[in-house]
Amino acid sequence: MGIRGSVVGRLLLIDVAGSVAVLGLWYLVFSTYNRKKGAAALRWVQTACDGKGRILESHWVGSSRLQARLHFPSRWFENANVTVKFRPRALPVHWLVSCLHRQEETLTFEADLGGSPSFHLEVVRHRWSALNRGVSSRKRDQREWDLYQPGPIILTTRTHWKQDPSAELNALMSARRPDILQVRFRPESPQFSATVQLEALADPDAAAGFVSALREIAAGASAHRQ
């Protein structure tokens, strides 16, 4: 009985040691992968600055979040920084949850403007998709639904709202950047932030106009304050 218990104990220790080794190897491999992808993301950010700004410093917060401080001319942005969120690949459970929730890898740009906005504004873009339910080529001319392009939907806590759209919302719409997921304005620092799909910056041509698009949106807020 004692010998059998000893064998079971050894097997249990081997299983535990093997599990720890596998988890350690997983963490090492995928944290290294995120680090390499972070280095690529910083290159994309530098390309996005398009000679108008530069990266001063960067550091990691955990294994899936990278932060960098940027410098721009004073007429552009102040106290600018970016936060890149990767999938938490280093921890299997967190990675699985992020896959199930279809979590996107994003880059969030934050900065202060020339003057403090006197309002809170958050603009979120949603995308919708649909299938044609297998309509054959002979029936393609027979539409199964009607499509409409609605205007912006504004949710506000104000009891009185002006009917004309805000300059910030118009600036966001005119920027024509479908990869921008969210834009925020607020009185406190950071006064302006924008979140974009990270992979959208992998294309040098698309990345080159990113900061200019953000500047255009921020300029709309400045014009509105004036």
Q: d(Cα 86, Cα 63) in Å, to the nearest integer?
A: 9
Residue 201: CB partners within 8 Å, gap ≥ 6?
A: 41, 44, 45, 47, 48, 107, 207, 210
Average pLDDT of 155-165?
Answer: 60
Higher pLDDT, 55 or 23: 55
Overall average pLDDT of the 131-157 stretch:
58
Q: In this structure, what DSSP letter does residue 141 have?
A: T
Q: Would you say residue 24 has pLDDT above 90?
A: no
Residue 201 confidence (pLDDT) above 70: yes
Contact call for residues 127 and 180 (beta carbons, < 8 A): no
Q: Which of 16-20, 56-60, 147-151 has the lowest mean pLDDT?
A: 147-151
Q: How far is CA 211 from CA 47, 82, 100, 191, 194, in A?
A: 10, 12, 32, 16, 10
Range from 51-55, 68-72, 140-144, 200-204 that averages highest in pLDDT: 68-72
Least trusted range by pLDDT, from 18-22, 75-79, 186-190, 195-199:
18-22
Residue type (1 letter), 185: F
At a CB cut-off of 8 Å and minimum separation 6, what does 144 contact?
132, 133, 135
- Backbone φ, ψ for residue 219 (5° rounding): -65, -30
Report residue 66's pLDDT band, with 50, 70 and 90 as the boundaries. Answer: very high
Tens of pLDDT, residue by residue over 79-137, are 999 999 999 888 888 888 888 888 889 999 999 887 777 777 777 765 555 555 555 55
Coil/strand/helix, residue 48 = helix
Is 42 exposed, middle or buried, given 0-12, 13-18 or 19+ CB atoms closer than 10 A?
Answer: middle
pLDDT exceeds cutoff 60 at 155: yes
Q: Identify the pLDDT of residue 226.
A: 46
Give the rounded percent of residues in the chain with a pLDDT score beyond 90: 17
The stretch 132-158 carries a mean pLDDT of 58
For the chain, how big is the Rg over CA atoms in Å? 24
How far apart, in whole angstroms, are the C-alpha atoms of residue 216 and residue 171? 7
- pLDDT at 104 (0 to 100): 87
